[in-house]
C-alpha cells in the first residue's frame, strides 16, 4: 500500500479503534476532525451522463470554433496581402495596357528591323525580350493576386458558417446542461471563485484538430494503488506545480462519475484526510485551488469543478450544488 493511500485510510482505522474501546461504557464519542475520504458523491446517473455527454460535445464544438477562428485569421492576413498587391500592380498593368492602346502592339520583326546598326539591333532584341517578360510577369502577378482574393473571401465565408454551426452546438449543450442541473436543484449563480493571479498551467496534449481525445485509465495513480488517465495525471502534476500540495485522492471504485474511470481527483484542505473548512486558511486554499482549475480549464481539459456547494461547468458557469457531499471539505476536479 502506498504512503498516500495509507494516509487516506489510517484516520479511519483510528476512528474505528476508538469507537470499539469506548462503546461498552456508553461514553459519547466526539467525531474525529478528519475523515479518511470525502463524503460520497451524489449517485445521480442522469446527471453523470448528461454532464459527460454535454461536456464533451461542448468542448469539441469549442475546439472546432477556436480552430475556425485561427483559420479565419490566416485568411484575413492572406486577403490583406493580396489586396495590397493588387493596389500596387493595377496602375502598372493599366499603364502597360494604355501604352499598347496608344502605339499599337509592336511586332517583334518591325521592332528589330527598325535599326541602322547591328549593335542597335541587338540592343533592341534584348530590350524587347525584357519588356515582354516584365509585362507578362506583371499580368501574371495581378491575376494571381485577384484569384487569391476570391479564394480567401470564399473560404472566409465558409469559416463564418462553420463558426455559426459550432456556436449553435455550444448553445444547445449549454441549455441541456442547465436543464439537467436544474433538475437536481442547481440554481444559476453569478458569483464564483476567480483569481486573476492564478498561475497559467501547461496545456495538455490535444488532437490535430484541437479536440480532446478519449483516454483510458492506464497511468499509475500517484495517490492510490489505482489508475488515472494521462490527462488527469497531467492536471494533477500542474496543480502540484502551482503549489497546492495538501492531501489529494484520485482513483476510487464505485459510483457513476469519474473517480472509477481515473478522471477525477479530490483535493483536500488538510495535509491528511478530509474535513470541512474550519479556518480562513483552509477556505482560502480551496478558493484559490478552484480558481486555478477554472482559469486553466481549457488548457487542462476540465469537465467540471465542485467546491463549497457550487459546481462550475464550462458550458454554464457556476450553479449551486446539493449532492450527498456539500464539498466543503475538498475541491472536486473531473476531467474530459
Among 138, 161, 180, the domain boundary falls at 180
Q: Say how many domains are in the chain.
A: 2
Higher pLDDT, residue 6 or 44 = 44
Same domain, 220 and 327: yes
Among 156, 180, 204, the domain boundary falls at 180
pLDDT at 100: 63
Same domain, 163 and 212: no
| Average pLDDT of the segment spanning 133-157 | 82
pLDDT at 9: 39
Higher pLDDT, residue 313 or 26 = 313
Q: What is the pLDDT of residues 79-121, one digit of tens each?
A: 898 888 888 878 877 777 676 655 555 455 454 445 555 555 4
Among 132, 148, 180, the domain boundary falls at 180
Any bridge partners for residue 200, and if so which?
Answer: none
DSSP string covering 307-322: ETTEEEETTTEEEE--
Same domain, 156 and 232: no
Domain annotation covers residue 153: yes
Q: What is the pLDDT of residues 33-51, one digit of tens each?
A: 456 667 655 555 656 777 7
Q: What is the DSSP letter of 223?
A: S
| Average pLDDT of the segment spanning 253-267 | 91
Domain annotation covers residue 132: yes
Domain annotation covers residue 108: yes
pLDDT at 11: 40
Contacts of 103 (CB under 8 A, 6+ apart): none
Distances (CA, A) of 153 to 71, 128, 136: 12, 38, 26
Domain annotation covers residue 9: no
Domain annotation covers residue 50: no
Query: What is the residue-averaged pLDDT of the chain?
Result: 78
Same domain, 131 and 228: no
The percent of residues in the chain predicted with pLDDT above 90, rounded, is: 35
Which residue segment(s) compose the domain that 82 sits in?
A: 67-180
Above 80 in pLDDT, residue 335? yes
Contacts of 46 (CB under 8 A, 6+ apart): 180, 183
Same domain, 336 and 203: yes
- Other Cβ atoms less than 10 A from the Cβ of 167: the count is 14
Amino acid at each position: 500500500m502506498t504512503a498516500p493511500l495509507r494516509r487516506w485510510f489510517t484516520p479511519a482505522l483510528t476512528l474505528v479503534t476508538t469507537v470499539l474501546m469506548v462503546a461498552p461504557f456508553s461514553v459519547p464519542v466526539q467525531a474525529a476532525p478528519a475523515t479518511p475520504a470525502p463524503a460520497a458523491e451524489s449517485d445521480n446517473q442522469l446527471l453523470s451522463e448528461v454532464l459527460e455527454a454535454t461536456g464533451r460535445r461542448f468542448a469539441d464544438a469549442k475546439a472546432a470554433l477556436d480552430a475556425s477562428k485561427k483559420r479565419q485569421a490566416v485568411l484575413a492576413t492572406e486577403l490583406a496581402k493580396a489586396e495590397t498587391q493588387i493596389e500596387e500592380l493595377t496602375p502598372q498593368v493599366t499603364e502597360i495596357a494604355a501604352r499598347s492602346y496608344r502605339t499599337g502592339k509592336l511586332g517583334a520583326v518591325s521592332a528589330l528591323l527598325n535599326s541602322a546598326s547591328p549593335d542597335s539591333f541587338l540592343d533592341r532584341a534584348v530590350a524587347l525580350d525584357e519588356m515582354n517578360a516584365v509585362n507578362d510577369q506583371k499580368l501574371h502577378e495581378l491575376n494571381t493576386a485577384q484569384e487569391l482574393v476570391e479564394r480567401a473571401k470564399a473560404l472566409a465565408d465558409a469559416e463564418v458558417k462553420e463558426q455559426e454551426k459550432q456556436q449553435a452546438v455550444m448553445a444547445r449543450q449549454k441549455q441541456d446542461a442547465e436543464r439537467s442541473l436544474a433538475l437536481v436543484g442547481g440554481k444559476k449563480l453569478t458569483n464564483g471563485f476567480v483569481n486573476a493571479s492564478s498561475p497559467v498551467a501547461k496545456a495538455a496534449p490535444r488532437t490535430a484538430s484541437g479536440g480532446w481525445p478519449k483516454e483510458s485509465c492506464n497511468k499509475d495513480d500517484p495517490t492510490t494503488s489505482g489508475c488515472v488517465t494521462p490527462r488527469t495525471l497531467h492536471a494533477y502534476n500542474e496543480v502540484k506545480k502551482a503549489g497546492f500540495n495538501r492531501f489529494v485522492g484520485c482513483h476510487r471504485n464505485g459510483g457513476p462519475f469519474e473517480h472509477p474511470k481515473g478522471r477525477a481527483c479530490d483535493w483536500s484542505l488538510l495535509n491528511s484526510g478530509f474535513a470541512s473548512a474550519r479556518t480562513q486558511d483552509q477556505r482560502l486554499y480551496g478558493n484559490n485551488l478552484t480558481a486555478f482549475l477554472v482559469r486553466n480549464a481549457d488548457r487542462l481539459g476540465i469537465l467540471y469543478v465542485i467546491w463549497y456547494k457550487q459546481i462550475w461547468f464550462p458550458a454554464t458557469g457556476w450553479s449551486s450544488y446539493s449532492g450527498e457531499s456539500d464539498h466543503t471539505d475538498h475541491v472536486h476536479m473531473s476531467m474530459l
